[in-house]
Protein backbone atom coordinates (compact mmCIF):
# COMPACT_ATOMS: atom_id res chain seq x y z
CA UNK A 1 0.00 0.00 0.00
CA UNK A 2 1.33 3.45 -0.95
CA UNK A 3 0.86 6.05 1.76
CA UNK A 4 -0.02 9.72 1.50
CA UNK A 5 0.65 12.07 4.40
CA UNK A 6 -1.22 15.38 4.33
CA UNK A 7 0.09 18.53 6.03
CA UNK A 8 -2.38 21.22 7.14
CA UNK A 9 -2.47 24.44 9.14
CA UNK A 10 -6.16 25.34 9.21
CA UNK A 11 -9.66 24.21 8.34
CA UNK A 12 -8.53 21.39 6.09
CA UNK A 13 -10.95 21.95 3.23
CA UNK A 14 -8.46 20.75 0.60
CA UNK A 15 -7.60 17.78 2.80
CA UNK A 16 -11.30 16.95 3.15
CA UNK A 17 -11.75 17.14 -0.62
CA UNK A 18 -8.81 14.78 -1.16
CA UNK A 19 -10.12 12.31 1.45
CA UNK A 20 -13.59 12.42 -0.11
CA UNK A 21 -12.18 11.80 -3.59
CA UNK A 22 -10.02 8.93 -2.31
CA UNK A 23 -13.08 7.21 -0.85
CA UNK A 24 -15.45 7.99 -3.70
CA UNK A 25 -12.94 6.90 -6.36
CA UNK A 26 -11.65 3.91 -4.35
CA UNK A 27 -7.98 4.86 -4.45
CA UNK A 28 -7.06 1.99 -2.09
CA UNK A 29 -8.69 -0.62 -4.29
CA UNK A 30 -7.78 0.89 -7.67
CA UNK A 31 -4.27 2.21 -6.96
CA UNK A 32 -3.19 0.68 -3.65
CA UNK A 33 -3.10 4.16 -2.10
CA UNK A 34 -4.23 5.28 1.33
CA UNK A 35 -4.10 8.49 3.33
CA UNK A 36 -2.11 7.27 6.31
CA UNK A 37 -1.90 10.47 8.33
CA UNK A 38 -2.68 14.15 8.68
CA UNK A 39 -0.18 16.39 10.44
CA UNK A 40 -0.86 19.97 11.51
CA UNK A 41 1.55 22.62 12.72
CA UNK A 42 -1.21 24.08 14.93
CA UNK A 43 -3.17 22.22 17.59
CA UNK A 44 -6.28 24.28 16.80
CA UNK A 45 -6.32 23.38 13.09
CA UNK A 46 -9.93 22.51 12.29
CA UNK A 47 -8.87 19.89 9.77
CA UNK A 48 -7.62 17.62 12.55
CA UNK A 49 -11.17 16.90 13.72
CA UNK A 50 -12.29 16.30 10.12
CA UNK A 51 -9.49 13.76 9.61
CA UNK A 52 -10.20 12.01 12.92
CA UNK A 53 -13.88 11.73 11.99
CA UNK A 54 -12.77 9.85 8.85
CA UNK A 55 -10.63 7.46 10.91
CA UNK A 56 -7.32 8.97 9.78
CA UNK A 57 -4.46 9.20 12.28
CA UNK A 58 -3.54 12.76 13.17
CA UNK A 59 -0.61 14.44 14.83
CA UNK A 60 0.45 17.96 15.78
CA UNK A 61 3.99 19.27 15.39
CA UNK A 62 3.67 22.80 16.76
CA UNK A 63 6.14 25.06 14.97
CA UNK A 64 6.10 27.50 17.91
CA UNK A 65 7.88 24.92 20.08
CA UNK A 66 11.02 25.01 17.94
CA UNK A 67 13.73 27.66 18.04
CA UNK A 68 14.48 27.44 14.31
CA UNK A 69 12.77 26.45 11.11
CA UNK A 70 15.38 23.71 10.63
CA UNK A 71 14.55 22.12 13.99
CA UNK A 72 10.84 22.25 13.19
CA UNK A 73 11.39 20.67 9.78
CA UNK A 74 13.50 17.89 11.32
CA UNK A 75 10.70 17.08 13.79
CA UNK A 76 8.14 17.26 10.98
CA UNK A 77 10.14 14.79 8.87
CA UNK A 78 10.24 12.34 11.79
CA UNK A 79 6.48 12.69 12.25
CA UNK A 80 5.83 12.08 8.54
CA UNK A 81 7.88 8.89 8.66
CA UNK A 82 5.82 7.63 11.62
CA UNK A 83 2.82 7.53 9.29
CA UNK A 84 4.46 5.21 6.79
CA UNK A 85 5.74 1.71 7.57
CA UNK A 86 8.54 2.11 5.03
CA UNK A 87 9.37 5.61 6.31
CA UNK A 88 9.06 6.79 2.71
CA UNK A 89 5.55 7.97 1.84
CA UNK A 90 4.54 8.00 -1.81
CA UNK A 91 3.47 11.63 -1.45
CA UNK A 92 3.57 14.39 1.13
CA UNK A 93 0.67 16.68 0.28
CA UNK A 94 0.65 20.30 1.48
CA UNK A 95 -3.01 21.24 1.86
CA UNK A 96 -3.13 24.74 3.29
CA UNK A 97 0.13 24.16 5.15
CA UNK A 98 1.31 27.67 5.93
CA UNK A 99 5.00 27.09 6.59
CA UNK A 100 7.97 27.72 4.34
CA UNK A 101 10.03 24.52 4.24
CA UNK A 102 13.81 24.42 4.43
CA UNK A 103 15.97 23.19 1.56
CA UNK A 104 17.02 20.21 3.69
CA UNK A 105 13.42 19.11 4.23
CA UNK A 106 12.59 19.51 0.55
CA UNK A 107 15.68 17.46 -0.40
CA UNK A 108 14.69 14.68 2.00
CA UNK A 109 11.28 14.27 0.32
CA UNK A 110 12.37 15.31 -3.17
CA UNK A 111 9.95 14.34 -5.90
CA UNK A 112 7.27 13.42 -3.38
CA UNK A 113 6.18 16.90 -2.21
CA UNK A 114 3.16 18.55 -3.83
CA UNK A 115 1.28 21.77 -3.08
CA UNK A 116 -1.70 23.74 -4.30
CA UNK A 117 -1.32 27.51 -4.57
CA UNK A 118 -4.21 29.98 -5.04
CA UNK A 119 -2.91 31.75 -8.14
CA UNK A 120 -1.94 30.98 -11.71
CA UNK A 121 1.75 30.48 -11.08
CA UNK A 122 4.22 31.88 -11.84
CA UNK A 123 2.08 34.94 -11.06
CA UNK A 124 1.55 35.96 -7.44
CA UNK A 125 3.73 33.64 -5.42
CA UNK A 126 3.43 33.91 -1.65
CA UNK A 127 0.50 35.44 0.23
CA UNK A 128 -2.50 37.70 -0.52
CA UNK A 129 -2.80 36.34 -4.05
CA UNK A 130 -6.45 37.24 -4.63
CA UNK A 131 -6.14 40.88 -3.60
CA UNK A 132 -2.97 41.22 -5.61
CA UNK A 133 -4.72 39.83 -8.71
CA UNK A 134 -7.59 42.31 -8.24
CA UNK A 135 -5.20 45.21 -7.61
CA UNK A 136 -3.26 44.39 -10.81
CA UNK A 137 -6.47 44.41 -12.85
CA UNK A 138 -6.23 40.75 -13.84
CA UNK A 139 -9.12 39.34 -15.86
CA UNK A 140 -8.38 35.82 -14.66
CA UNK A 141 -7.09 34.20 -11.48
CA UNK A 142 -6.97 30.57 -10.48
CA UNK A 143 -5.15 27.76 -8.75
CA UNK A 144 -1.99 25.78 -9.46
CA UNK A 145 -0.91 22.33 -8.31
CA UNK A 146 2.87 22.15 -8.34
CA UNK A 147 5.82 20.18 -7.09
CA UNK A 148 7.51 21.71 -4.06
CA UNK A 149 11.08 22.90 -4.42
CA UNK A 150 13.36 24.90 -2.17
CA UNK A 151 12.23 28.07 -3.97
CA UNK A 152 8.79 29.15 -2.75
CA UNK A 153 5.99 28.41 -5.26
CA UNK A 154 8.40 27.73 -8.13
CA UNK A 155 8.17 23.94 -8.63
CA UNK A 156 7.04 22.26 -11.83
CA UNK A 157 3.39 22.99 -12.61
CA UNK A 158 1.23 19.86 -12.66
CA UNK A 159 -2.24 21.37 -13.15
CA UNK A 160 -4.02 24.70 -13.24
CA UNK A 161 -7.62 25.91 -13.13
CA UNK A 162 -8.71 29.33 -14.36
CA UNK A 163 -11.36 31.47 -12.64
CA UNK A 164 -12.60 34.81 -14.02
CA UNK A 165 -12.11 37.93 -11.93
CA UNK A 166 -15.55 39.55 -11.94
CA UNK A 167 -16.31 43.25 -11.86
CA UNK A 168 -16.56 44.40 -8.24
CA UNK A 169 -14.92 41.22 -6.95
CA UNK A 170 -13.53 41.20 -3.44
CA UNK A 171 -10.60 39.05 -2.39
CA UNK A 172 -12.99 36.94 -0.32
CA UNK A 173 -15.42 36.25 -3.20
CA UNK A 174 -12.60 35.46 -5.59
CA UNK A 175 -10.94 33.21 -3.00
CA UNK A 176 -14.16 31.20 -2.59
CA UNK A 177 -14.40 30.57 -6.35
CA UNK A 178 -10.72 29.65 -6.58
CA UNK A 179 -11.01 27.28 -3.61
CA UNK A 180 -13.78 25.34 -5.37
CA UNK A 181 -11.38 24.73 -8.25
CA UNK A 182 -8.52 23.81 -5.89
CA UNK A 183 -10.68 21.03 -4.46
CA UNK A 184 -11.25 19.62 -7.94
CA UNK A 185 -7.80 19.82 -9.47
CA UNK A 186 -5.79 18.84 -6.39
CA UNK A 187 -7.45 15.47 -5.81
CA UNK A 188 -7.45 14.66 -9.54
CA UNK A 189 -3.74 15.52 -9.87
CA UNK A 190 -2.77 13.42 -6.85
CA UNK A 191 -4.70 10.46 -8.26
CA UNK A 192 -2.91 10.82 -11.61
CA UNK A 193 0.50 11.11 -9.93
CA UNK A 194 0.02 7.76 -8.20
CA UNK A 195 -0.84 5.81 -11.37
What is the strand order of the sheet 140-147 is part of?
Answer: 58-60, 33-40, 2-8, 91-94, 113-117, 140-147, 157-164
Active site residue 183: no
Q: How far is residue 154's CA from residue 138's CA, in Å, rounded to a whole number?
A: 20
Among residues 85, 91, 96, the alpha carbon closest in space to that of 193 is found at: 91
The torsion defined by the Cα of 41, 46, 49 and 50, in degrees rounded to 10, comes to -110
Environment class of residue 31 by beta-carbon count within 10 Å: exposed (0-12), middle (13-18) or buried (19+)? middle
**Are 48 and 17 contacting, i.e. CB atoms less than 8 angstroms apart?**
no
Q: Name the active-site residue from 117, 130, 146, 183.
A: 117
Q: Which active-site residues does the annotation give?
A: 117
Amino acid sequence: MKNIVILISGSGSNMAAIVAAARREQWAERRGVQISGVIANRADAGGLALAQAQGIRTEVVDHKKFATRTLFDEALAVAIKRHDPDARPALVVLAGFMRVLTAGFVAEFEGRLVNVHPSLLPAFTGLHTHQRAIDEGCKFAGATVHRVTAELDHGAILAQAVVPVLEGDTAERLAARVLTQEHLIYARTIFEMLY
